Amino acid sequence: MTLKVVGLRRFPVKSMLGEEHERLVFGPRGVVGDREWALRYADGKLGSGKNHARFRRTPGLLEHYATYDEDGQPVITAPDGATLRPGDPRIPERFGEGVELVREGESSHKDVSAVSLIGTASLRALGDLLGDADPVDVRRLRKNIVVETDEPWIEEDWVGREIVIGGGRGGAEPLRLRAVQRVKRCVMVTQAQPGLPTDNRVLKTLTAARGMCIGIHTEMLAPAPIALGDTVAVR
């Protein structure tokens, strides 16, 4: 089976819903614009789906869509249809006193890595573990790159290896990543979002069967644009 890219996603605001793309541009920090913005509380913690030394669990984030406008500014669409931009006074009204929508500074908004990746066979395998007829919905797992695979969990065997995606068209260089570790999941995979109900089975099943892990984190070796249908090679 030839490995190829079948899904590309970018999340402009940390822990909010994001965008599907046919093509994405990558830079040194990962997908350009990915998790570049976040809600920040007055104590410096970032709005998230979980509590952590750096994050504060903020209910309702997965009910908000985030995208970029034609000027490259983030736009949040709330469940009631309101659109929010940086500096909007309705942001602290909705999320708490002192909360601001801020661009990433010296500290990364990302939990671990530049780019996350998962294989389709792993999505099917988790669906089987859950006893479902369908694969688990990839939207729960918030990965940047989805690769068509025929062997469950095969991407975990890529840790320590180089992943080369795309390139070749008109002499273009490929995207080069190095797989660094499995992705340890958190309570966000259980939370409801539009079209998906709350499902506490997901994290319980991953904990029991896979050490809470699914998919891989990668680090950037050489950034380049990639598109749906691009081939994937592992070295």
Quick: pLDDT tens for 59-80.
999 999 999 999 999 999 999 9
DSSP, collapsed to helix, strand or coil, labels residue 175 as: strand
47 and 20 housed in the same domain? no
Alpha-carbon gap, residue 128 to 136, rounded angstroms: 9
Q: Are residues 55 and 153 in the same domain?
A: no
Q: pLDDT value at position 62?
A: 96
| Positive/negative CA dihedral, 143, 147, 153, 157 | negative
Which pLDDT band, with edges at 50, 70 and 90, does 164 fall under? very high
CA atoms within 13 A on the CB side of 4: 7
Q: Which of 63, 82, 103 is the last residue of a domain?
A: 103
CB atoms within 10 A of CB 81: 6
Helix or strand run (H / E) with residue 207: helix 201-210
What's the pLDDT tens digit per position in 180-207? 999 999 999 999 999 999 999 999 999 9
pLDDT higher than 80, residue 2: yes
H-only helix segments in the chain:
90-95, 120-130, 201-210
* CATH label of the domain that carries residue 198: 2.40.33.20
* Three-state secondary-structure class, residue 83: strand
Tell me the residue range of the domain where 166 lies: 4-31+111-234
Cβ atoms within 10 Å of 128's Cβ, excluding its own: 14
Judgement on whether residues 164 and 82 belong to the same structural domain of the protein: no
Confidence of residue 36 (pLDDT cuts 50, 70, 90): very high
Same domain, 127 and 202: yes
In the chain, the number of structural domains is 2
Statement to judge: residues 54 and 159 lie in one domain = no
pLDDT at residue 51, rounded to an integer: 82
